[in-house]
Amino acid sequence: MPEKHFSGKYKVTKLLNNGKYAKVYHARDTRSGQEVAIKSFQSPDNLNVVEIQAMSRLSHRHVIKLKEVKATADGEVFVITEFARCGDLFEMISKRGPFNEDLSRLYFQQLISSVKYCHSQGVYHRDIKPENLLLDDKWRVKLSDFGLSAVIDDPTRPGPVLTDPCGTVEYAAPEVIMAGRGGGYDGAKADVWSCGVVLYVMIAGFLPFDNGDLVEMVGKMNRGEFRLLKKMSTGLKWLLLRLLDPNPETRISVDEIIEDKWFRQGYEEPSDDE
């Protein structure tokens, strides 16, 4: 158990996940009573340094918070983060089915708020999907799992060109999937595409481009060919068409999303450090 390494700082209550490279525990801060998650790596070789680098830059209401990283003399590494009590968005959709537009808009607003902040700090997530959108005890979105992130030193530099294909193919932008053939892509625009897929899944309950055949699916992505549902409002349909634009040059940007009429209904920009 990891608690022997923390001199009474954290009280470990249970094992949450026993993975190949790490174990994840639920624990409580013995001073504040706050719940935390402790990820234990038996070897520093299994630690994703980029993930720690990314999370150490971020402090935002809708981003999972890194509390501390501790290494022991015998090589074990512990990563302590805030704990999201209410599971993740994928689990919520699976249990209750598609959301209405108001709830979808609320969660999409929280997601875009977190993505805008991450980009301002030079962090491009590159694996945005419902499984990586955790929910805290107030049912607020917490963007998590920065293991595939790209981090740049100058967040003001426009359009960083990334070259490695990564992420989950059903949520990855077409230019990311094709990057393995020698092309590059803008991490900000790639994240926007993934946010568009998440929005579609919340409303529809299924993926916009998934039909079981990878080649055909990628072809539909490249053509921007997906079904708009009758129940979707005109404003939502228009926004989805701009989010899932296969051309990153004309795809809507995060700043443009925030100015969109459908998006702005009831929107309040949270402060970065809430």
**pLDDT of amino acid 8:** 79
| Torsion of the alpha carbons at 160, 165, 168 and 169, rounded to the nearest 10 | 110
> Which CATH number fits the domain 2-82, given the four candidates 3.30.200.20, 3.40.50.2300, 3.30.70.250, 3.65.10.10?
3.30.200.20
Query: pLDDT 10s digit of each residue in the chain, 274 long?
Result: 676 667 678 999 999 888 777 889 999 999 999 999 998 887 777 778 899 999 999 999 999 999 999 888 778 889 999 999 999 999 999 999 999 999 999 999 999 999 999 999 999 999 999 999 999 999 999 999 998 999 988 766 665 689 899 999 999 999 999 886 767 899 999 999 999 999 999 999 999 998 678 889 999 999 999 999 999 999 999 999 999 999 999 999 999 999 999 999 999 877 645 5
What DSSP string runs through 63-113? Answer: BPPEEEEEE-TTS-EEEEEE--TT-BHHHHHHHH-SPPHHHHHHHHHHHHH
**pLDDT of amino acid 180:** 66
- Residue located via tokens 């525990």: 25
88 in active site = no
Domain extents in the chain:
2-82, 89-259
Amino acid present at 40: S
**pLDDT of amino acid 260:** 97
Full-model pTM: 0.92
**pLDDT of amino acid 160:** 61
Helical (H) or strand (E) element with 176 = helix 174-177
**pLDDT of amino acid 198:** 98
Query: From the candidates 88, 127, 145, 186, which is the catalytic residue?
Result: 127
**pLDDT of amino acid 26:** 92
In the chain, % helix, strand, coil (3-state, to 5) comes to 35, 20, 45
**pLDDT of amino acid 5:** 67
- The CATH number of 89-259 is 1.10.510.10
**pLDDT of amino acid 185:** 93
Residues 202 and 240: beta-carbon distance below 8 Å: no
